[in-house]
Structure 1
Amino acid sequence: MSARLDPEMEIVHLLRSVALELGLHSARFASRNGMHPTDVRALIALMDARRAGEETTAGRLGAALGLNSAGTTALVDRLERAGHVRRVRGEGDRRKVVIEVDESAVELGWSFFGPLIDRSVELLRGYDERELAAIRGFLTGVRDAADEDGQ
């Protein structure tokens, strides 16, 4: 006979299950496209930065992924050879080299992750503003707590 979990622990376990499934989904994408899981994480980080209007240097990308300089160079070289990213000069400082995601990589990602994203958006449309604020607050808090643990 199993003990009934507190509602909070039930949600924590559900979040862990969601994280596991999302990780497996990402790993399937990586495998099908001849990528390393870190390649996928890098592309996500670059797309998030682009959406936020931020330029990403190799150093910033490496820091976000927890890679050293040599590992970051190998990663960017690999992604560049595959046609997923390109190195360009910075907008404000032409001496700075910025890593940009190629549109073909964005399209490749959408072809695989699009249905999951669409389903997630559909689920979220079933919640009112107060509930969305609670979900946003919870997920932001968990993300921030995980980030603190990694520092």
Structure 2
Amino acid sequence: MAQREFARLLQGLASEMNLLGHDFADASGLHATDVQALLAVLRAPDPPGITPGGLRTELGLTSGAVTAVLDRLERAGHVHRSRDEADRRQVHVHYHPGAARIAGEWFAPVAECTDRVRAEFAPEQVATVVRFLTRMTEELAELRRERRTG
């Protein structure tokens, strides 16, 4: 496969995932940035959860914008904030357990599509795809961090 075609296919996948995220945001009364914040909260180890400062760094937002995002996510029932037991000045953001139902209903068809497509491939092929996607995600995250700091 030509490099250009490969890049086009990756762009198409990224675009479809992004559009699904926008659709989820619209259906949930959220902003697209809120969905990115929600994904960052989901990726964070819980406990301790992610801090608002961690979200600011992850999303490249101002402190005020992070507060607005967290306020919207909290009002929508997706996240909750808690104070650190050892340092009460430190706030951690956690995914609200009840929110799994909301996202689950929306993204269940995505999971079904994933399962259907994955079933078309042998386990060793899936392992190769997983390795590729993992490395692409790592490289793109590093590129994003470099661009933000440099």
Please state which band the TM-score falls in when normalised by the shorter chain. 0.7 to 0.9
**Following the alignment from structure 1 to structure 2, what is the Cα–Cα distance between the partners of residues 108 and 43?**
12
CA distance in 2, matches of 1:148, 1:48: 16
Counterpart of 1:77 (choices 71, 78, 91) is 71
Which amino acid letter does the alignment assign opposite residue 107 of structure 1? R
Which residue of structure 2 aligns with residue 42 of structure 1?
A: 37
Contact 2:30/2:72 (<8 A) preserved = no
Unmatched 5+ residue regions in structure 1? 1-5
Structure 1 stretches of 4+ moved >4 Å = none
Q: Which amino acid is the alignment partner of residue 111 of structure 1?
A: E
- In structure 2, the CA distance between the partners of 1:35 and 1:49, relative to structure 1 (3 Å rule), is same
Amino acid in the other structure paired with 1:33: S
Aligned pairs (5 A) from 1:111-126: 111-126=105-120
Q: Secondary structure at the match of 1:127?
A: coil
CA distance in 2, matches of 1:63, 1:127: 37
How many pairs align?
144
Q: How far does the alpha carbon of each residue in 1:37-69 deviate from its partner, in whole angstroms, 9 at most, with x for none?
A: 01111111111224x755211111221111121
Query: Does the Cα contact within 8 Å between 1:55 and 1:90 map onto a contact in 2?
Result: no
Which residue type is aligned with residue 80 of structure 2?
Answer: R
Specify the code of the residue in structure 1 equivalent to 2:114.
S
Which of 100, 109, 122 aligns to 1:106? It is 100
Match of 1:138 among 120, 132, 140: 132
Report the AA paired with residue 102 of structure 1.
Answer: H
1:62 paired residue number: 56
Q: Give 3-state SS (helix, strand or coil) of 1:103's partner.
A: coil
- AA aligned to 2:12 is S
- Give RMSD over aligned pairs: 2.0
Task: Give CA deviations for 1:5-35 in whole Å, capped at 9, x if unaligned.
Answer: x433322211101111111111111111110
Q: Structure 1 residues 53 and 131, CA, compared in 2 at 3 Å: closer, same or farther?
A: farther
Structure 2 residue runs of 5 or longer lacking an equivalent are: none
Counterpart of 2:22 in structure 1: which amino acid? Answer: A
- Per the TM alignment, residue 86 of structure 1 is displaced from its structure 2 partner at its CA by 1.1
* Counterpart residue identity of residue 52, structure 2: A
Question: 3-state DSSP class of the match of 1:80?
Answer: helix
